[in-house]
Structure 1
Amino acid sequence: MIAGAVPEGEVSDPAGQRQGIQSVEIGTRLLQALASSGRSLLLRDLSRSAGMPAAKARRYLVSLIRMGLVEQDANTGRYDLGGFALELGLASLARLDPVRLAGPVLDDLCERTGETVALAMWGNRGATCVRWLEAGGPVTVTLRTGVVLPLLSSATGQAFAAFFRSPYLRRMLDAEIEAAAAARQATPAALRAALTVQLDEVRRHGIARAAGSVTPGVNGFSAPVFNHAGRMVAALTLLGIIGSFDLDWDSPTARLTKEAAATLSRRLGYGGGEAAEVAASAGHCEAAPGRGDRRA
């Protein structure tokens, strides 16, 4: 072999640091084509999507079928992902950690907005802050890890109330409504009716908002994060000081928060649309908040 030459079947990394098996990379193009199509494909369509001649694609498909990564319907001749591909996908999904994957997303959102960002997940006591990142500006917004946020009066809680599906959430909403009704001398029915309207608005915009948060004078937006099954698994929240934090539904802060939540959702395997498009499957909560006391 000539010194410095790459063995047959291997491909050199552009940086000269690693070598790979070129045939594996070529075969992966067929798997990517099947995965992106969302349906089984005939050989001519599959080879076209993978960018290779049909005769070449057929040879690779023979090996992929033997490995269980691809299967072929004996009646139609169509190719689809095989059982082993499904096992690999499920194993990969089981390893996805929203908190770990959220790190770069939170960093990016904090840097782009200059505001405090947080990630909350559903715990045994409700919507719980599991990670937060302070912007470090002249005025800081502090949010402790482990704090449980109210469903009625916080942007984070309202995001869960609008998109999260759990019988325990409904019970917690009922308890908060009863307490709020007693404190404000209002009827639970009136608070539930008001919340129904509010959560419909949250679902329509795909994001929750609140003014006057845990720390007085703080605004907040909170957007849902979905997993591969289309279920909400976390809420991504952006917090800022009233006066400099725009709470309009179409503001840059709202857009960036939704974009960050969508990015994290994709990293968790979610392939659906915006939060507003999947809101119908999240269920509607017949409850309502009081007015005024809002938290982010």
Structure 2
Amino acid sequence: MPDKDDDMRSGGTEIQAVDRAAQILRLFGPETPELTAGEAAERLDMNRTTTYRYCTSLVSAGLLERGSRTGTFVPGALLLQLGAFAVGRRKVVDLAPPYMRELCTSTGLTTVLSLWGSTGPIVSRVEEDATRTVLVTVRVGTQLALLSAQARVFLAHMTDQLRVDRLLGSISDERRPGLAREVHDLTGTDRVAVSSDGFGVNAMAAPVFDESGICASIALISTGQLLPLDPDSGNAELLRDTARALTKAMGGDLRPQR
């Protein structure tokens, strides 16, 4: 049993249990979708038994769930619900729907608005073309990988270069140089970024700015046949125009295309 005072830090102003729970939750992301208590303990340099107790308590609270593999944990429904709610409070989420609907109608493709979470873009709103026989979509609350088109856009316009370097450092040695080059080429422009998931689904994303800098990315997603990875295509121009219009509505700085 920990000492009674062990639950308090900094002269009684910070609850250690909350801090430790947050540290565990921060471990999850696109590159770490599930963890065992032992793996979490090793990464955080915590006692394995204590870490397991924290994980089971987080399961009871709905912040974690049991994973598909024995002994693993994954983000819980309450965590996803709270995350989607938090990002949904941003002004851009309220302003975006008519712009997204128009883009979706013009292209016939699924339109996605994403905001930056702690370690990657979070899908905050989705507009779908229900007339399509084949529909490619993504759930609100999904955290996208750093290799996604949306993440590339955010990385290109973040002002904290140390943060960008740290995030790029989490990418495999094989893919990091190419991603870094693409991010560099997008910096200072409003050009679209493109990506493919390797399973036939393509994405194309453009930045949205407010008075403080990048606040969101707006993207098109579909099959490779319907959305070729051409940053100079008609769909890319429609996407860029939509991002510029939303940027203007947000009172942001329109970045010239380089």
- Range into which the TM-score falls when normalised by the shorter chain: 0.5 to 0.7
Cα RMSD of the aligned pairs, angstroms, is 2.2
**Is the aligned partner of 1:233 residue 2:233?**
no
Taking the TM superposition and a 5 Å limit, the aligned residue runs for 1:18-33 are none
Mark the CA change 1:270 to 1:132 in structure 2 (over 3 Å): closer, same or farther: same
Mark the CA change 1:266 to 1:200 in structure 2 (over 3 Å): closer, same or farther: same
Indicate the residue corresponding to 1:266 in structure 2: 248
Indicate the residue corresponding to 2:141 in structure 1: 146
CA distance in 2, matches of 1:272, 1:157: 19
CA distance in 2, matches of 1:142, 1:238: 10
Please state whether the residue corresponding to 2:229 is helix, strand or coil: coil
Instruction: Report the residue type matching 1:147 in the other structure.
Output: T
Matched-pair identity in %:
31
Instruction: Report the residue type matching 2:177 in the other structure.
Output: A
Taking the TM superposition and a 5 Å limit, the aligned residue runs for 1:1-296 are 97-136=91-130, 137-151=132-146, 153-166=147-160, 167-175=162-170, 177=171, 180-181=172-173, 186=174, 191-203=175-187, 206-212=191-197, 216-229=199-212, 231-274=213-256, 276=257
Shift of 1:246: 2.9
Please state whether the residue corresponding to 1:200 is helix, strand or coil: helix
Please state whether the residue corresponding to 2:169 is helix, strand or coil: helix
Shift of 1:262: 0.5
Shift of 1:193: 2.9
Any gaps of 5 or more consecutive residues in structure 2?
1-88
Mark the CA change 1:131 to 1:219 in structure 2 (over 3 Å): closer, same or farther: same
Indicate the residue corresponding to 1:281 in structure 2: none
Any gaps of 5 or more consecutive residues in structure 1?
1-94, 278-296
CA distance in 2, matches of 1:238, 1:145: 15
TM-score normalised by length of structure 2 = 0.59
CA distance in 2, matches of 1:134, 1:149: 18
TM-score normalised by length of structure 1 = 0.52
Please state whether the residue corresponding to 1:148 is helix, strand or coil: coil
Q: Say if 1:227 and 1:270, in contact at 8 Å, map to a contact too.
A: yes
Q: How many correspondences in the alignment?
A: 167
Deviations 1:131-180, CA, capped at 9 Å, x for gaps: 111122111112011111111x21111111112234544423322x2xx2
Higher relative contact order (CA 8 A, sep 6+): 1
